[in-house]
Amino acid sequence: MTRKPARRVTLQDVAKHAGVSRATASLIVRNSPKVAAKTREKVLKSIDELGYVYDRVAANLRSQKSSTIGTIITDVGNTFFSQFLLGVHHELEKYGYTVLLGTTFDSLKNQERLISTMLENRVGGILLCPVSTSSTETVDRLKTLDIPVVVGIRELNELTCDFVGLNYQAGAYLAVNHLIQKGHQQIAFIGGISDSTTWTERMEGYRAAHEDAGLSIDYSLILDSAPTREGGMEAIQKLIQQDRLPKAIFCFSDLIAFGVIIGLRKMGITPGKDIDIVGFDNIPEAEISYPPLTTVSSFAQKTGTAAASLLHNRMQHPEEQRQRIIIEPELIKRDAF
């Protein structure tokens, strides 16, 4: 896991080559104004000639600073998270941070390991999208850490730190209400891990939409699953086998919706014609899928940008009051071609 490169050209070498002291050379690489133009030029020339590469690691060690940010997400292969990451990158780049990336694949063990890795690597801050099974231990650990942390997407109970997330309840309400307005009275809720807050909040929106419309909920139409396409496919097949398939389905995420679409098709049912489906997230695929997927936009990229910006802000002002940014979702209606 490690490797020994050849000897680096050090600032010492540069200083010697230019005939100045190490301290002076250091000032120059840091763009300090208090150094004579002539000296600077001399040193810059030496840097160039020797092919000197600044050692940020050594500098950070000495100055007790950090220019890297640990970003922990669930899965780069999931478009929602890659869009989120895109936003994070765009924002952090502005401030000159470098991103150390970790992916948990929704495993608590991986999450704990990654947090350790980030700390061992002296990151200046952590952007954490917690796994669905995050325990209070994770929370306690983060609490005792003296490092800025911003939690994204999934909130951790009892953890009072900055948070950026989505109003899942409002999103679910929009989606389910849309189906109700289309005349549906029986609406399934498919997918997602039911003991995560991202699920319970959607459930609350699902419930509220039913209540406001004076409809009762058929709990046999609510099936959770792994938050993947495969999970969605399996869940819908179970529903079909039990012969309880309704005419409308609200899916936990677009990914789940695609699984549902594939599952339906496998069973000879035509999604979009026989059945109305609404997703959640508005990942780019939703725009070109068939049938075109009506969904709730969770603005993944924007969420990433907000989270990164919040982290940066927290790093500058550790004492400011914690913030909680909730992005409001939007219903994206897509009609059949």
Footprint on this chain of a copy of itself (rule: CB under 8 A): 1-6, 51, 53-58, 60-61, 63-68, 75-77, 79, 82-83, 85-86, 89, 95-103, 116-117, 119-122, 124-125, 144, 146-148, 258, 261-262, 265, 270, 284-285, 287-292, 301, 315-316, 318, 337
The two three-digit tokens of residue 291, written as one number: 């049938």
Q: Among residues 182, 186, 245, which one has the least CA distance to residue 210?
A: 186
Asked if 317 interacts with DNA (CB under 7 A), we say no
Specify the residue for token string 């209540």: 211
Question: Taking CB within 5 to 8 Å according to partner kind, which of DNA, a copy of itself, none is near residue 214?
Answer: none
Residue 147 and residue 116 in contact, taking contact as beta carbons nearer than 8 Å: no
Question: Taking CB within 5 to 8 Å according to partner kind, which of DNA, a copy of itself, none is near residue 284?
Answer: a copy of itself
Q: Among residues 293, 288, 284, which one has the least CA distance to residue 257?
A: 293
Q: At 124, which helix (H) or strand (E)?
A: none
Residue 196, CB-side half-sphere exposure with 13 Å CA sphere: 21
What's the rounded Cα separation, in Å, for the pair 114 and 190?
A: 31
Question: Taking CB within 5 to 8 Å according to partner kind, which of DNA, a copy of itself, none is near residue 135?
Answer: none
User: What is the three-class DSSP state of 217?
Assistant: coil
Q: Which of 65/94 has CB closer to DNA? A: 65
The DSSP bridge pattern shows strands 222-223 and 187-190 to be parallel
Question: Taking CB within 5 to 8 Å according to partner kind, which of DNA, a copy of itself, none is near residue 23?
Answer: DNA
Asked if 34 interacts with DNA (CB under 7 A), we say yes
Q: Which of 32/220 has CB closer to DNA? A: 32
Asked if 20 interacts with DNA (CB under 7 A), we say yes
Residue of 1, 23, 288, 336 interacting with DNA (CB under 7 A):
23
Contacts of 30 (CB under 8 A, 6+ apart): none
Q: How far is the CB of 141 from DNA (least distance, A)?
A: 18
Q: Among residues 145, 28, 121, which one has the least CA distance to residue 66?
A: 121
Question: Taking CB within 5 to 8 Å according to partner kind, which of a copy of itself, DNA, none is near residue 34?
Answer: DNA
Asked if 3 interacts with DNA (CB under 7 A), we say no
User: What is the three-class DSSP state of 247?
Assistant: coil
Q: Which of 20/172 has CB closer to DNA? A: 20
The two three-digit tokens of residue 94, written as one number: 């502005």
Residue of 17, 27, 202, 295 interacting with DNA (CB under 7 A):
27
Question: Taking CB within 5 to 8 Å according to partner kind, which of DNA, a copy of itself, none is near residue 99?
Answer: a copy of itself
Asked if 121 interacts with DNA (CB under 7 A), we say no
Question: Taking CB within 5 to 8 Å according to partner kind, which of a copy of itself, DNA, none is near residue 325?
Answer: none
Question: Taking CB within 5 to 8 Å according to partner kind, which of a copy of itself, DNA, none is near residue 10?
Answer: DNA
The footprint of DNA on residues 57-76 (CB under 7 A) is 58-59, 61-64
Asked if 288 interacts with DNA (CB under 7 A), we say no
Number of other CB atoms surrounding residue 209 within 10 Å: 24
What's the rounded Cα separation, in Å, for the pair 265 and 18?
A: 73
Q: How far is the CB of 143 from a copy of itself (least distance, A)?
A: 12
Alpha-carbon distance values, 152 to 54, 56, 103, 297, 302 (Å): 33, 28, 14, 16, 12
What's the rounded Cα separation, in Å, for the pair 303 and 165?
A: 7
What's the rounded Cα separation, in Å, for the pair 167 and 205?
A: 10
Residues that bind DNA (CB under 7 A): 7-8, 10-12, 15, 19-24, 26-27, 29-30, 34-36, 38-39, 52-55, 58-59, 61-64
